[in-house]
Structure 1
Amino acid sequence: MIRHPSPRCSAFAVAFAATLLAGVAAHAAPLANTTVAFLMPDQGSTRYEEHDHPGFVAEMQKLCPTCKVIYQNANGDAARQQQQFNAAVSQGAKAIVLDPVDSTAAASLVKQAQGQGIKVVAYDRPIPSTPADFYVSFDNEAIGKVIAKSLVDGLKAKNVPTADTGLLEINGSPTDAAAGLIKKGIHEGLADGGYATLAEYDTPEWLPSKAQQWASGQVSRFGKKIVGVVAANDGTGGGAVAALKAAGVNPVPPVTGNDATIAGLQLIISGDQYNTISKPSEIVAAAAADVVAGLLGGDAVKPDTTLFGTPTKLFTPTLVTAANLKAEIVDKSINGKPIEAASVLCTSRYTEGCKTLGIMP
């Protein structure tokens, strides 16, 4: 059973700020001049470059100003990630934060590192078959359940019939264990909703283009029977929206998302996407940095639970719709900055939508 921590991102930030400040002095000496690696899986989502990487580096600099951070992104290629992992080992990394392209293949990387005394922190995506030293993530199963149930509740609120209608389900990459958890959560969220799942798809590498191509075929197949699309993240959701629009579907049925990317938030502002999940990556990145410091500094790192045999810290996601986008994204801040600024979201074609939602640059 997974125990969920408090859902307030601001509370997470405060709690971790206190933890990090308390640990700086203790960690600094044993960490001095240590090399750590931060290896991310793909560029299908912009979050890794814009939030995860800078967030991790910022926290590591607070904990250890003399530490070196090696950053690499595998761009969806498991073989490339293995090369990047080997390079980090050869460069003397004492800890590797790994968000795996292929959760199954990553097991051999964990064994390789641990055989050399290198700590491995699984990040965002778990590594089920071989326990890492720690796992840090938002609760992926909860994400799937929340976005699916939100969609069902929205359809019911509008009295959308369940007879002779149904939903499309667009999952994430079949090689990503986190995508599997999101998929499980989606199934849970849809279980009692009364809407049939017309068709389901696991999107290779989370590529929006693949999601769009598949959704296009399903629009041709099912037409007006489609009353909603449960997409596992903003990229696949955006692909579904593009397919529906290209087919002339108007209005576009509600489409879910996850990650609160700029593109996804703008689709919500324009009315083309129904929901997303706010999970500021800086929070998880800070947690990963603190875990690394604890593991290397000899301090006990307290988990929330154990998942796949690995000590785990999970954060609770926040659902975002048009109704609370301003409060959760524009008005809420992380490290003194808005999660996303109104000036970034409210560009030309989204100006009217922003006005409707009370968002002013």
Structure 2
Amino acid sequence: MKRLIAALLVLAGAGAALSGCALPDQGAEGMIALLLPDKKTARYETFDRPVFEERIAELGDWSVLYTNADQDAARQQQQAESALAAGAEVLVLDPVDGRAAASILAAATAEGVPVIAYDRMIVGGGTPAYYVSFDNERVGELQAEALVRELEERGDADGGILMVHGAPTDNNASQFRDGARRVVSDAGLRILAQYDTPDWSPDKAQAWVAGQIAQYGDEIVGVYAANDGTASGAVAALRAAAVSPFPVVTGQDAELAALQRIVSGDQHMTVYKALRQQATIAADVAVALTRGETPAGDTTVDGVAATLLEPVAVTIDDIASTVVADGFWRIEDICTAAYAAACADAGLD
């Protein structure tokens, strides 16, 4: 009890460092910290956090200290330091910046607190206790394969494409990019321009794509967008410029708005990742670590025990058999009044 009271005092004094945090339960037997990177990507608040917290509650009387860094690596550093001072026994860390997070890993390791690298690997600072993510190069391959296939079916494979990559601070973004570039190169597609999107910002992606439209115009037949947020920015720019025929646009994360864009024809595909499974595995591993266990993992990544889940490409033909069948989204979530006719045409009513 003294420890928990002290933890609450630390948290109360942390101020901006723990902006938006969820305070721990005073009656819990211990604390696990969940540190997520941003609020612009819908998945974190919609799936990762609630599923993780629900699973922890199922496993026992553990409290979850939740913080979101809102794409600020310095803020995440402060949040991690506050979590350690508050007595967190495990850090589940999805880093804003994989390299900057090395100092978080080093500080936790120095205090004997294991760190789970969640979704994104931590580069330097020691060795995480576990890594749970997806086969990220495969994500990029799936996106590019769908893009190539659709362009070939349209007879547009001789046109040019834009490549809107993810944040340069995100280690996963480089893996998505590597996988996609390999497929694009093998297919012989012509890349007009490429962009690393700061903070995965849809607004910045939109502004960049708008500039490329002004330069390349109807040469653009496709846009490789690394996730659904950057895809939304690309689509907004393409619609504002009234580009026709509408280019093929990729995405990732199976966000609700992205699925609706797929139904309406504004986005060709997304990548579905079993986020519920990912968050559940992270919670299971976190509790095991608090009990002094050493989870073995299904594989290793850079010597770190890991689970890498398999991503799945989703086009309009796959929505029912993937995200709906898995209970990720319901038909009624996707097929609101504005999309009812398009859903009916797609057999989703």
Q: Does TM, normalized by the shorter one, top 0.5? A: yes
Q: Indicate conservation of the 8 Å contact 1:258/1:278, yes or no.
A: yes
Stretch of structure 1 that moved more, 122-131 or 249-258 = 122-131
- Aligned counterpart, 1:340: 329
Native 8 Å contact 2:274 2:311 kept in 1:
no
Moved over 6 A (4+): none
The residue type equivalent to 1:41 in the other structure is P
Sequence identity (%):
43
Number of the residue aligned with 1:68: 63
CA contact (8 A) 1:127 1:308 kept: no
* Equivalent residue in structure 1 for 2:177, among 170, 180, 183: 183
Separation (CA, whole Å) in 2 of partners of 1:253 and 1:80: 38
Q: How far apart, in 2, do the equivalents of 1:116 and 1:300 lie?
A: 18
* C-alpha deviation, 1:188, in angstroms: 1.6
Q: Is the 8 A contact 2:148 2:157 kept in 1?
A: no
Aligned twin of 2:278: 284
Q: Secondary structure of 1:35's match?
A: strand
Q: Which residue of 1 aligns with 2:260?
A: 266
Q: Return 118-127 or 295-304, whichever deviates more.
A: 295-304
Describe the SS at the equivalent of 1:292.
helix
Q: Could you say what secondary structure the match of 1:61 adopts? A: helix
Q: CA deviation at 1:348?
A: 2.2
1:56 corresponds to 2:52: yes
SS class of match (2:249): coil
CA distance in 2 between counterparts of 1:289 and 1:189 reads 35
Where do 5+ consecutive residues of structure 1 fail to align? 1-31
Aligned mates of 1:138, 1:76 — CA distance in 2: 21
SS of structure 2 residue aligned to 1:192:
helix
Q: Match of 1:304, as an amino acid?
A: D
Residue among 20, 27, 31 paired with 1:35:
31
The 8 Å contact of residues 241 and 252 in structure 1, kept in 2 or not, is answered as no
| Deviation for aligned residue 1:102 | 0.8
Which residue in the other structure is 1:109 paired with?
Answer: 104
Is 1:246 matched up with 2:235? no
Matched position secondary structure for 1:191: helix
Of the candidates 138, 155, 160, which is equivalent to residue 156 of structure 2?
160
C-alpha distance in structure 2 between counterparts of 1:153 and 1:161, whole Å: 9
* Offset, 1:127: 1.0
* Pair 161,135 (structure 1): closer, same or farther in 2 beyond 3 Å: closer
Contact 1:129 1:308 in 2 (8 A): no
Looking at structure 2, the residues matched to 185 and 303 of structure 1 have their Cα atoms a distance apart, in angstroms, of 24
The runs of 5 or more residues in structure 2 that have no matched partner are: 1-27
CA contact (8 A) 1:171 1:200 kept: yes
Residue type of the alignment partner of 1:116: E
SS of match in other structure, 1:135: strand
Residues 35 and 94, structure 2, Cα contact 8 Å, conserved in 1: yes
- State the partner residue of 1:356: 345
CA RMSD of aligned residues (A): 1.2
SS in 2 for 1:272: coil
Q: Report 1:162-311 matches (<5 A).
A: 162=158, 165-311=159-305
TM-score scaled by structure 2? 0.90
Q: CA deviation at 1:327?
A: 1.5
1:217 CA displacement = 0.3
CA distance in structure 2 between the partners assigned to 1:50 and 1:172 by the alignment: 20
Range with greater deviation from structure 2 (275-284 or 212-221): 275-284
Match of 2:40 among 37, 44, 47: 44
2:8 aligns with none
Question: Which one-letter code corresponds to 2:97 in the other structure?
Answer: D
Distance in 1, Cα, partners of 2:287 & 2:191: 45
Distance in 1, matches of 2:96 and 2:55, equals 24
Name 1:132's counterpart in structure 2: 128
**1:324 and 1:122 mapped to 2: Cα distance?**
30
Q: State how far apart, in whole Å, the 1-side matches of 2:157 and 2:48 are.
A: 41
Aligned-partner SS, 1:170: strand
Q: Aligned to 1:213, what secondary structure does the other structure show? A: helix
* Aligned residue in 1 for 2:25: none
Aligned ranges 1:19-30 → 2 under 5 Å: none
1:299 alignment partner, SS class:
coil
Distance (whole Å) between structure 1 residues aligned to residue 214 and residue 303 of structure 2: 44
What amino acid sits opposite 1:353 in the alignment? A
In 2, Cα distance between the equivalents of 1:277 and 1:328?
10
State the shift of 1:297 in Å: 1.7
Of the structure 1 ranges 193-202 and 308-317, higher mean CA displacement relative to structure 2 is found in: 308-317
- Which of residues 128, 140, 147 is equivalent to 1:144? 140
Deviations 1:112-158 (A, max 9, x none): 00100101000011112242111100111110111111110111122
Structure 2 counterpart SS, 1:249: coil
When the two structures are superposed, what TM-score results if normalisation uses the length of structure 1?
A: 0.87
